Structure 1
Amino acid sequence: MPPLSVIPSERQEDWWQQRHQQKLAEIQGRKDPIELLFLGDSITHEWEVEGEQFWQQHFAPRNAFNLGFAGDRTEHLLWRIQNGELEQLLPQWMVLLIGTNNAGHRLDPPEDIAIGVQAILEELQHRLPTSKVLLMAIFPRSRNTNKPMRQRIVATNTLIKEFADGKQVHWLDINNQFLTQDGVLLESVMPDLLHINAAQYEKWAQAVLHYIDQKSHQ
């Protein structure tokens, strides 16, 4: 039996259902084509709250759209992709950050998380073969490098990095920007040692734009 991380799963919470329908309606109602699409969990969702200032500054002018849903695991994003959230879209780039909730909520082994990410990438490539994917390294968790949660994330990143071919799927790892030289994660960066604060959204935005602009001029 395949791991739960690859079995598309619809969540039943009211807010999640409402957000899914709202996003579908927004996509239908847009006049300008979406050029930059963000896919993920709460860290991506928070571009609309903690990172809103920098979203408006950097991404709104580029016709970006946010499909981050708090609490999502790989199987939830897979369901959303298969149930309308990519319909009529043809973005130039998709920024994908997913997997931390597989590691945290269910303590999935890195191999299962990686298979879930791979399933998402295959679905994206099948549905949008001309769009590029910027696959983000899953952001660090837990204070120290010896914590099991941190190690699970590191091991997962080692696996999913291999999915990048430098053509349709690209790899971007900005995790060192969040850590001290000794690899410590501080509350001044992630107050709960999981979700980044506003200043880190600015760093993320700069890194994404630098990479995309660099590639577009090659």
Structure 2
Amino acid sequence: MNWLLISSDSTSQYFHYMKITSLTLSILLPFTAVVQAQTPAPAKPAAPAVKLPAQAPDVAAPKMGPDGKPNTGFIASHEKFVGIAKEGKAQLVFLGDSITAGWAGNGKEVWAKAFSEYTPANFGIGGDRTQHVLWRIQNGELDGGIKPKACVLMIGTNNSGTDTAEGIAKGVTAIVETIRAKQPQAKILLLAVFPRGSKPDGQLNAQNDKLKEVNAIISKLDDGKNIFYLDIGGKFPVADGKLDKTVMPDFLHLSPAGYQIWADAIGPKLAELMK
């Protein structure tokens, strides 16, 4: 029988090699684990934008976000306005988009001087279109304890890029009819949609031409009893077909001077309606 003989030197070298190998592994394995733990996972591909269906200007709908759900800022403002309506203190309500909402910004001082005696409420939300205002007043903003003497409505400029003049006018008409149904005692001061211009020089544009058509249609809603149409667009300075930047800095929204023009222009009629 043949025996495999291993010298003591060979054995010693073998165990020495195994110790070094074990030591090396004990050092490298934790390091490898740390590296793996610190390596970020591949980023998930961004969710594709939800394609939102077109909204009709005369069909009530909330403003939607890019995720296909109601816009959170819109809903938060709406809920705030519903709370104000439930309190029942407001005697004068302004309904509209960012131009109306701006009474709380550039128009803050003018608002306090011109309307504070009427216990006013500003129900304006930036970016709103006719369908959004219609949805808001169908969902609590004119319910509860609120019983205003008058409502000031100016809406439609945000529809002008996509909808027809006839469609926008239908949306305004639906809002007026809803106000009348929910608050029959309230007089409605229906304002012509303000002029707008293009950057960089404020040149009156095609959207402005469309809004003139809208105004011509909604002017016929004036019945002299409950609905009063007022076009104050001519009060905003225009030279050579261009809007004045001191009044409309971006040729759409108003400066403090612009809000003063607005307040002065509706003041006499509003005083009459608030009696």
TM (norm. structure 1) is 0.90
Range that drifts further, 208-217 or 188-197: 208-217
Q: Aligned ranges for residues 42-121 of structure 1 at < 5 Å?
A: 42-87=98-143, 88-104=145-161, 107-121=162-176
Alignment check: 8 A CA contact 2:188 2:228 kept = yes
1:144 partner amino acid = Q
Distance 1:27 1:94 in 2: 13
Q: Which position in structure 2 is the counterpart of 1:197?
A: 255
1:127 pairs, out of 179, 182, 187, with: 182
Distance 1:215 1:91 in 2: 11
How far has the Cα of 1:166 moved from its partner?
1.4
How many pairs were matched up? Answer: 211
1:36 pairs, out of 88, 92, 100, with: 92
Distance 1:184 1:156 in 2: 20
2:267 pairs, out of 209, 213, 217, with: 209
Structure 1 residues 29 and 90 mapped into 2: Cα distance closer, same or farther (>3 Å)? closer
Q: Which position in structure 2 is the counterpart of 1:8?
A: 60
Alignment check: 8 A CA contact 2:102 2:254 kept = no
In structure 2, the residue corresponding to 1:50 is in which secondary structure? coil
Unaligned runs of 5+ in 2: 1-54, 64-69
TM (norm. structure 2) is 0.72
How far has the Cα of 1:25 moved from its partner?
2.0
Alignment check: 8 A CA contact 2:149 2:273 kept = no
Structure 1 residues 185 and 48 mapped into 2: Cα distance closer, same or farther (>3 Å)? same
Distance 1:23 1:173 in 2: 27
How far has the Cα of 1:172 moved from its partner?
1.1
Q: Deviations over 1:14-35 (max 9, x none)?
A: 11111111222233346xx321
Distance 2:74 2:225 in 1: 33
In structure 1, the residue corresponding to 2:57 is in which secondary structure? helix
Q: Deviations over 1:18-75 (max 9, x none)?
A: 1111222233346xx3211100000001111110111111212210101111100000
1:41 partner amino acid = D
Distance 1:211 1:29 in 2: 26
Higher relative contact order (CA 8 A, sep 6+): 1
Q: Bigger radius of gyration, 1 or 2?
A: 2
In structure 2, the residue corresponding to 1:6 is in which secondary structure? coil
Q: Which position in structure 1 is the counterpart of 2:217?
A: 159
- Following TM superposition, the consecutive aligned residue runs of length 4 or more in structure 1 with deviations greater than 6 angstroms are none
